[in-house]
Amino acid sequence: MDLLFTLLATLVALGLLVTIHEYGHFWVARRCGVRVLRFSIGFGAPLYRWYDRHGTEFMIASIPLGGYVKMLDEREAEVPVEQLDQAFNRKSVKQRIAIVAAGPLANFLLALLAFWVVAVVGLTTVKPVTGVPEAGSIAERAGLREGLEIVAVDGATVSSWHDINLRLIRRLGESGTLGISARELAGGEPQNYSLVLDGWLRGVDQPDPLGALGLTSWQPQVLPRIGQVNPDGAAQRAGLQVDDLIVRVDGVPVNDWVTGLVPLIQTSPGQPLALEVERGGRLIELTLVPDGRESDQGLQGFAGVGVAAFEWPDHMLRRISYNPLLAIPVAAGRTWDMTVLTLESLQKMLTGLVSAKNLSGPITIAKVAGASARSGLESFLSFIAYLSISLGVLNLLPIPVLDGGHLLFYAAEWVRGKPLSERIQAWGLQIGLALILCIMLFAIYNDLSRLGG
């Protein structure tokens, strides 16, 4: 059932993104007087098709990995004389640029709409209040301590841990000073803290920005009660079950999941731990041998369990919502920030500041789609917005085969006053196709490596 839900969430997300992208091309092409022959969602054999009054074929195909808009074009087939004025290749270079650019632009507009809906509907989030920083960490050396609410990072206002993470990601691989403003939870004027970075997380696979700074979030006492047991994990092999309450580990009382149980498991990879567990009103004894896995901190123990749901105090929660008018600049700001972040991340991957192993493929996208859909409408819409921005940015890269490559050819034609030779364009398309194929294979390899880890 989980797999089916994940597949459904992925199809909904990708189907929406592809439809909006191709509709951008379609809508502008129609208004430029181009005859559209086919509008297809997916590739391969048609599952369902219909025609509109203009004779355009609309199709849902069997392979849901993209889509396309097929236009009348003399380069692809002979065009009747009476329809030459409707051929794409007969339009001015400015019109062709507009048609090609409309697809990525539609993706940015979709992201803007999704962020606007999230801003209007609103969401409840946990206030970004610090826990005890790790001893000797960057955060501790800067003077940060428990009980401070972070209000700004590098001068940008933040209202949640999610906002903070996005700001920190922009500093990956950099050296210099990271500015954090924080105030007492009870109120008062914010104080500024300077965190010194030196090649921070440069080239690290799957970086953990908060953990690398030594920042922790304040949490209420969380009983060490099991809420989820992963199949084939160490906890399942030990006989742990959902709703079990872990009372002691190696004879030592444990009364908190975060500060008590997790450190014991992480520091015991491959070592047997004697558990005393309360189940159904009686105590039983089990032996847990945590699996070991590599992390930024070295080999750590991993049990394959999740904590049972717990409630946050009301004073630690924040409701964020805007009226429809104020939500417009908020959505525009988020769209702009995510676009800049995507471009900066690509630039850092090319220069080695960020590991290329962070590049994700369809498997990771599917996992995130399923997880965000389970988390609720706001989370799923935010995921769609992020993915739509990524699709828009990637499509604008000046790589032949992508929209950005076509725009590069048309820009050259505009400057030269005539198109590039067919030979040069053919070479560019072959190089672009090879490059895109290599990137796709590398992204899938990264996905499989994460599954293996």
What CA–CA distance (Å, rounded) separates 211 from 217? Answer: 10
Q: Which tens digit of pLDDT belongs to each residue from 380-392?
A: 999 999 999 999 9
Give, as one character, the DSSP assignment of residue 171.
T
Confidence of residue 7 (pLDDT cuts 50, 70, 90): confident
Angle at 386 between CA 382 and CA 390, to 5 degrees: 165
Q: What is residue 1's predicted lDDT score, i.e. its pLDDT?
A: 59
Confidence of residue 35 (pLDDT cuts 50, 70, 90): very high
What CA–CA distance (Å, rounded) separates 259 from 242? Answer: 20
Confidence of residue 371 (pLDDT cuts 50, 70, 90): confident
pLDDT at 315 over 60: yes
Confidence of residue 326 (pLDDT cuts 50, 70, 90): very high
Residues whose CB falls within 8 Å of the CB of residue 87, separated by 6 or more in sequence, listed in order: 34, 35, 71, 72, 73, 74, 79
Q: What is residue 4's predicted lDDT score, i.e. its pLDDT?
A: 84
Residue type at 400 in one-letter notation: P
Nearest alpha-carbon partner for 73 in 98, 38, 103, 40: 38
Q: What is residue 295's predicted lDDT score, i.e. its pLDDT?
A: 66
Q: What is residue 374's predicted lDDT score, i.e. its pLDDT?
A: 84
Give, as one character, the DSSP assignment of residue 419.
P
The more confidently predicted of residues 178 and 444 is 178
Residues whose CB falls within 8 Å of the CB of residue 376, separated by 6 or more in sequence, listed in order: none
Q: What is residue 275's predicted lDDT score, i.e. its pLDDT?
A: 93
Nearest alpha-carbon partner for 67 in 8, 20, 121: 20
What CA–CA distance (Å, rounded) separates 18 from 371? Answer: 21
Q: Which domains does the chain have, with CATH numbers?
A: 138-218+316-320 (2.30.42.10), 226-308 (2.30.42.10)
pLDDT at 453 over 60: no
Check 22, 149, 276, 378 and give the catalytic one.
22
Confidence of residue 296 (pLDDT cuts 50, 70, 90): low
pTM to 2 decimal places: 0.85
| Whether 57 is catalytic | no
Residue type at 443 in one-letter notation: A
Confidence of residue 449 (pLDDT cuts 50, 70, 90): confident
Q: Average pLDDT, stretch 70-93?
A: 93
Q: Which tens digit of pLDDT belongs to each residue from 402-437?
A: 999 999 999 999 999 998 888 998 898 899 999 989
Q: What is the DSSP string of 38-83?
A: EEEEEEEEEEEEEE-TT-PEEEEEEEEEEEEEEE--TTTS---GGG
Rg (CA), the chain: 26
